[in-house]
Amino acid sequence: MSQSYGIKRVLMHVLLIVLCAVMAFPFYWMVTSGLKTNDEIWQTPPALWPAVPLWSNFVDAWQSANFERYILNSVTVACAIALIQVVNSGMMAYALTHMPFRLKGPLTAIVLVSYMVPTTAVYLPGYVVLSKLHLLDSYAGLILSNSVSVFSIFLIRQAFLQVSHELVEAGRIDGASHLRILWTIIVPLTRASFAVLVLITFIEQYNNYFWPMLITKNPDLQLVSAGLRSFFVEGGAYGLKWPLIMAASAFTIAPLLLLFLFTQKTIMQSVNFSAGVNKG
């Protein structure tokens, strides 16, 4: 009994290790391909590890396009958006959960309906709106057009619903303003949800490609995905410089994998929250 149990356990670990290896292999392949020479990368069958790892490829790739700028653009825009969403989702959710007012029902319904509309479908009219506001090709346009997320509002609303209304009442009796109650009492109690909001929003915006690409033509404003794509198509000339392209992909992905390494618990917890959002 215990022996067959042990064998089963070992087999299961072997299976899991194989599965994990298959899932992680593209990352390994990206890095090793980035270390090969242009001749070596075309070898068949491909070598699992380069004869002489060419670390200089990473330096060359970094210098052959303005990656510093692209990554900085992505990080700045993503941080700004996450920060704005903390504020406007927090205030909106507070109004919807702890402030009685007549439009509460209609506003909740509007937010709920917009949750169902596919983002990508409004890109064309959104583009026209942005051009009318003279916000094309600007950081302001990149940030403002993404500054509200229905998902974030629902996420925070869900958390605020768990906070007892008596806390708010007590604060009011003590003479505290709604803003003060929100930021000094409610937000600290629901910080787990805000952590999820910040991380998910950051990841989403750092990775964002389609919309930022549509509304910016200036290469200096490109986010990292669009910058990498330009390098892939132009600088890399579609596959003539695969080692450099792989090296560039590696340092584009690295910041996110690092972020994930340190925050994996929170990010994977987000699942509990987003399941809750959909039930709300």
205-224 residues in contact with another protein (CB under 8 A) are 206-207, 209-210, 214, 224
Stretch that binds another protein, among 24-32, 53-61, 162-170, 184-192 (CB under 8 A): 24-32
Q: Which is nearer to another protein, 5 or 174 (CB)?
A: 5
Contact with another protein (CB under 8 A) among 6, 8, 18, 29: 29
Contact with another protein (CB under 8 A) among 126, 161, 183, 235: 126
CA distance 34 to 54: 8
- Footprint of another protein on 86-115 (CB under 8 A): 87-89, 91-92, 94-96, 99-104, 107, 110-111, 114
**Smallest separation (angstroms) from another protein to the CB of 124:** 5
Stretch that binds another protein, among 49-57, 59-67, 189-197, 227-235 (CB under 8 A): 227-235
Q: Does 83 bind another protein (CB under 8 A)?
A: no
Q: What is the CA radius of gyration of the chain?
A: 24
Contact with another protein (CB under 8 A) among 7, 14, 38, 43: 43
- Footprint of another protein on 154-183 (CB under 8 A): 178
